[in-house]
């Protein structure tokens, strides 16, 4: 066991600004003797000890100091300081008096810290030219509210930069705020090259905490670097791989300089260059050509001008526009065509690429492939419009069409007429006559009325509105259609519906009478069969066509009114109705 008074304290106590610092004072007195007093002090800037507490067995005396409202004592006599500030960074002393064992003391260094804020970096906002005659400022970095003061380092693409004479410099500024915290700022000056357009810069603030080095990094930033154009590219941009007439084409000029140069566009016409810059989008390097055609073919040039060093570059591109022109259709023979004639249609066109031809009729139905279409035995019904479609298989979507009319002449032919027409006298009816012909015919009626004509392709239709008279019913009407090539006429028969109804009544009555006669004849034959007058076996066949007196008598009896009455009353022994023929036979058997 120790034979003298011993006091142990931590060498350093670290606490963050605003926190609570607890400084312990552990002591040992031989033979478990009691202390006489315990005093707490702090060492001021004059290296003088200023007492904070005087502790005895009878009580605790707190001295009147700047710490008075922030101090407290623990049960173990440890000193606690609340709301620590950077000014509390000093030495604190614990002194213990133990009577005959003397006086002992020890001290603790209170270290106050404040973790700096994440550094803020701002790149050069104006941009930097690679041609700059002075070493330019790349960026600035600031870290605020730290204690003790940190230091800042600079990094490019993740690698730390180091000062180089007349090349790389990093001047720093340290500012102590009224709160006692520090703000440190730093600037990076370094030359740049064209490759630095992709470089990323950041700064790092370094500080110590609990004996270890810590760091906080800023965001990565890029710097706007100015450099001249080295390469110029001009390309044709179109919705399809091969440009065709009617397409919208864009010429895009791209330069690798920064800022982009001034662009100008030209088109070569013979030996001269036509300035198209006024048609280009301002400051974009884009020239839009709308609905290009054959005349859009040619060589185009883009010219760039760097305003930094006034250097020029130029690039050419050829625009090839695929087209079809001169589509025409010829007809052989070219003279007037009549019904029954034949004709050959030929289609021709010009294009820098191979062409295919296709024929369609007026309804769009495909008729043939190739540049010729042969039509034979022409009629009015033959489609009078044909289309030649010219296509370029190697250029999707490149096609043109040409229509031709084939007029077949002939005298009129009446194709439809409203005859016979069932009418009633004095009613108003429409008479219809439809014909086909070319040239257009005229339609005439043999009677007066209100006529309306309609044309549909080669067809002409005439509707005549008339009131039915007795004479019209008797004579009917005549439709006459004519043109310079001939005449065609047809008669319309009008039938009186009243007479038709009477005729139909007579026919119905006749049918009913015929049905009754057949029914009576069937009953007679059945009656004869039951009476045995007509044997069914092969051997007993009789020729009922021979005139016999008995047969005549039977026929007379069948026609008797009493026969039907008796047949409805007689029944068999089992309660069922018996056949009428049997009943008649029995009746005959009882006659005298």
Contacts 24+ apart (CB under 8 A), 231-236: 231/255, 231/256, 232/302, 232/304, 232/313, 232/314, 232/315, 233/315, 234/300, 234/301, 234/302, 234/315, 234/316, 234/317, 235/317, 236/317, 236/319
The yes-or-no verdict on residue 584 having pLDDT over 70 is: no
Could you please state the CATH topology (level 3) that the domain comprising 117-226 is classified under.
Immunoglobulin-like (2.60.40)
Most confident of 354-368, 485-499, 533-547: 354-368
Q: What is the pTM of this model?
A: 0.55
Q: Is 232-319 CATH 2.60.40.1220?
A: no
Residue 408's pLDDT is 86
Alpha carbons 360 and 383: distance in angstroms, whole number: 10
Residue 499's pLDDT is 57
pLDDT tens-digit profile of 35-75? 999 999 999 999 999 999 999 989 999 999 999 899 999 99
Residue 156's pLDDT is 96
Band (pLDDT 50/70/90 cuts) for residue 335 is: confident
Closest by CA to 30, choosing from 73, 59, 70, 1, is 1
Tokens at residue 514, please? 């015929």
Residue 552's pLDDT is 35
Q: Is 6-113 CATH 2.60.40.10?
A: yes
- What are the residue ranges of CATH 2.60.40.10 in the chain? 6-113, 117-226, 232-319, 325-406, 410-496
Could you please state the CATH topology (level 3) that the domain comprising 325-406 is classified under.
Immunoglobulin-like (2.60.40)
Residue 509's pLDDT is 67
The yes-or-no verdict on residue 220 having pLDDT over 90 is: yes
User: Mean of the pLDDT values across residues 272-292?
Assistant: 92
Band (pLDDT 50/70/90 cuts) for residue 547 is: very low
8 Å CB contact between 386 and 404: yes
The yes-or-no verdict on residue 196 having pLDDT over 80 is: yes
Architecture of domain 410-496: Sandwich (2.60)
Band (pLDDT 50/70/90 cuts) for residue 504 is: low
Query: With b meaning 16 or more CB within 10 Å and e meaning fewer, what string describes 321-344?
Result: bbbbeebebebeeeeebebebebe
């Amino acid at each position: 066991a120790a034979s003298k008074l011993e006091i142990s304290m931590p060498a350093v106590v670290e606490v963050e600004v605003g926190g609570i610092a607890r400084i312990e004072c552990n002591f040992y007195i031989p033979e478990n003797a009691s202390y006489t007093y315990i005093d707490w002090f702090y060492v001021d800037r004059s290296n003088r000890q200023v007492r904070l507490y005087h502790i005895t067995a009878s009580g605790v005396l707190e001295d009147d100091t700047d710490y008075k409202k922030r101090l407290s004592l623990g049960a173990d006599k440890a000193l606690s300081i609340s709301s620590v500030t950077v000014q509390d960074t000093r030495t604190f002393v614990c002194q213990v008096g133990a009577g005959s064992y003397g006086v002992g003391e020890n001290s603790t260094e209170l270290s106050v810290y404040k973790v700096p804020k994440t550094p803020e970096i701002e790149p050069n906002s104006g941009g930097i030219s690679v041609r700059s005659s002075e070493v330019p400022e790349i960026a600035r970095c600031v870290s605020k509210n730290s204690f003790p003061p940190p230091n800042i380092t600079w990094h490019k693409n993740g690698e730390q930069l180091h000062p180089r004479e007349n090349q790389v410099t990093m001047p720093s500024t340290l500012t102590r705020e009224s709160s006692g915290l520090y703000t440190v700022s730093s600037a990076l000056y370094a030359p740049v090259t064209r490759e630095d357009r992709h470089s990323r810069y950041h700064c790092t603030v370094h500080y110590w905490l609990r004996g270890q080095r810590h760091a906080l990094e800023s965001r990565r930033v890029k710097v706007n670097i100015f450099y001249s154009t080295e390469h110029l590219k001009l390309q044709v941009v179109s919705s399809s791989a091969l440009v065709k007439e009617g397409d919208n084409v864009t010429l895009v000029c791209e330069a690798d300089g920064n800022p982009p140069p001034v662009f100008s566009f030209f088109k070569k016409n013979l030996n001269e260059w036509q300035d198209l810059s006024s048609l280009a989008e301002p400051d974009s390097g884009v020239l839009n050509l709308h609905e290009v055609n054959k005349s859009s073919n040619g060589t185009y040039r883009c010219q760039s001008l760097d305003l930094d060093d006034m250097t020029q570059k130029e690039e050419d591109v050829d625009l090839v526009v695929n087209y079809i022109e001169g589509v025409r259709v010829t007809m052989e023979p070219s003279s007037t065509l009549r019904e029954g004639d034949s004709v050959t249609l030929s289609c021709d066109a010009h294009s820098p690429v191979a062409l295919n031809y296709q024929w369609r009729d007026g309804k769009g139905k495909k008729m043939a492939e190739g540049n010729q279409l042969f039509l034979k035995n022409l009629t009015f019904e033959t489609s009078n419009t044909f289309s030649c479609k010219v296509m370029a298989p190697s250029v999707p979507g490149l096609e043109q069409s040409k229509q031709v009319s084939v007029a077949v002449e002939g005298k009129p032919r009446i194709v439809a007429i409203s005859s016979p027409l069932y009418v009633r006298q004095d009613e108003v009816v429409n008479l219809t006559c439809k014909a086909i012909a070319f040239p257009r015919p005229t339609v005439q009626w043999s009677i007066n009325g209100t006529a309306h004509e309609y044309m549909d392709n080669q067809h002409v239709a005439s509707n005549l509105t008339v009131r039915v008279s007795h004479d019209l019913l008797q004579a009917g009407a005549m439709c006459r259609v004519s043109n310079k090539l001939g005449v065609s006429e047809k008669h319309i028969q009008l039938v009186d519906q009243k007479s038709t109804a009477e005729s139909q009544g007579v026919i119905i009555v006749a049918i009913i009478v015929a049905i009754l006669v057949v029914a009576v004849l069937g009953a007679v034959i059945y009656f004869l069969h039951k009476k045995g007058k007509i044997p069914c076996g092969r051997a007993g066949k009789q020729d009922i066509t021979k005139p016999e007196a008995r047969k005549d008598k039977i026929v007379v009896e069948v026609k008797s009114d009493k026969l039907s009455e008796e047949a409805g009353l007689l029944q068999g022994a089992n309660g069922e109705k018996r056949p009428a023929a049997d009943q008649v036979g029995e009746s005959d058997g009882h006659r005298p």
